Amino acid sequence: MAVWALGLNHNTAPLDLRGRFAFALDTIAPALKGLREQHLRHPEAAILSTCNRTEVYCASEQVQVDHTLGWLAQAGQVPVDALRQHTYTLQGDQTARHAFRVASGLDSMVLGEPQILGQLKDAVRAAEDAGALGSTLSQLFQRSFAVAKQVRSSTEIGAHSISMAAAAVRLAGNLFEDLGRTRVLFIGAGEMIELAATHFAARQPQAIAIANRTLERGEKLASRFGAQVMRLADLPERLHEFDIVVSCTASQLPILGLGAVERTLKKRRHRPMFMVDLAVPRDIEPEVKQLPDVYLYTVDDLAQVVQTGQASRQAAVAQAEVIIDAGVQSFMHWLDQRDPARGVVPLIRQLNAQADEWRALELARARKRLAKGEDVEAVLEALSRGLTQKMLHGAMAELHAAAPDARDDAAQAIERLFLRGTHK
């Protein structure tokens, strides 16, 4: 089996292009169906889609990168040549290394951030539910989870990392002298909003509100922070009440447009607003950033803040890479064993076939002797002796025929094969 991956991330593609390839979890199953049908041979497949990356992992008898690229370009309605400039392709051990680095947080905008591991597990479950995951990718991802666990438990890779949420709080603190006198609005109720709300709530703002498409989910999150809840439909009338707005939804279209924010600023008499758009695709129209009284930051804008302090963790990165190297070698060894051209599978099949042939031959002889009325015990004794002689014939012949300088090696090999576990 060949494995390959095709992707684009925060290092290779701008935010708006990444937004064209964002897959919500409930769209993964039909996307995987279309992806597999696009290929000449239906491969195993999984799609990882986050605000920082979209990656397609595949396994099949032959690498089919061009088909994968063609499908992804079609899904995002982008010309193939234009997309190719912003993507990276990986094959074989490079694919395993990349998957292990992603799971461990080494390829994230926030070095060592833990959210990516949960997102990768969600992607794997979605592929399993869609029937797109076979033994090869299952093995790849299960090993990536194990490597990530070892990296996080054995190194300091996640220590002192600055999350997007913490970076947002830091920037807000630069604008507002006292966050305790601000009113904060969160749009959405997912994992990123929960993380952001936790960080902002620690600064004890004057008020917190959560706007969500469904009130039930918003109320569940609001109860943790003593926040009020509103519907997205209420935003135009109430947006002016808030000094800080943090948005992260799965909407495919912007929730806050230029006109709505302009009207909000008039109601606020142009008091400044701090806005953070953590969504991909965007929740807030990019033109809003040009307004003089708005300080708008996207996930990419926060990158420089997040990078601070990473130099002190380079030793941990080196330790993590050693663990990942071992994981890659182990996975490739497993993959090689399954390769009929290079692995031990053909030899195992030959051994089984030879053993079956010997067994059938001795059984046929035993049945003939039993049919003649010979003693059962004598027939069983002859059967067991015949099988034993056939099994040991090759080893005995090798010992007798081996040259003196090779006899010791032959003896050690035979001892490992036939006498394992017999020594006390």
Question: What average pLDDT does the segment 110-125 reach?
Answer: 90
Question: What average pLDDT does the segment 199-222 reach?
Answer: 92
pLDDT category of residue 310 using cuts at 50, 70 and 90? low
What pLDDT does 108 receive? 87
- CA–CA dist 257, 277 (Å, integer): 12
Per-residue pLDDT reduced to its tens digit, 3-35: 999 999 999 999 999 999 999 989 999 999 999
Q: What is the mean pLDDT of the chain?
A: 89
- 51 as an active site residue: the answer is yes
What pLDDT does 379 receive? 85
What pLDDT does 342 receive? 57
55-69, 153-167, 373-387: lowest mean pLDDT where?
153-167
Query: Pick the catalytic residue: 51, 90, 109, 162?
Result: 51
Taking 80 as the threshold, does the pLDDT of residue 227 lie above it?
A: yes
Query: pTM surpassing 0.85?
Result: no
Taking 70 as the threshold, does the pLDDT of residue 386 lie above it?
A: yes
Q: Where are the beta strands (DSSP E) in 147-301?
A: 183-187, 207-212, 228-231, 244-247, 273-277, 294-298
Instruction: With CA atoms as reference, report the closest residue to 167 among 8, 304, 294, 30.
Output: 304
Question: What average pLDDT does the segment 137-151 reach?
Answer: 96
What pLDDT does 309 receive? 56
- From residue 38, give the alpha-carbon distance in Å to each of 31, 35, 66, 70, 74: 11, 5, 10, 8, 11
Question: What average pLDDT does the segment 239-248 reach?
Answer: 96
- CA–CA dist 223, 229 (Å, integer): 9
124-128, 269-273, 385-389: lowest mean pLDDT where?
385-389
Do the strands 88-91 and 2-9 form a parallel or antiparallel pair, or are they unpaired? antiparallel
What pLDDT does 366 receive? 87
Taking 60 as the threshold, does the pLDDT of residue 160 lie above it?
A: no
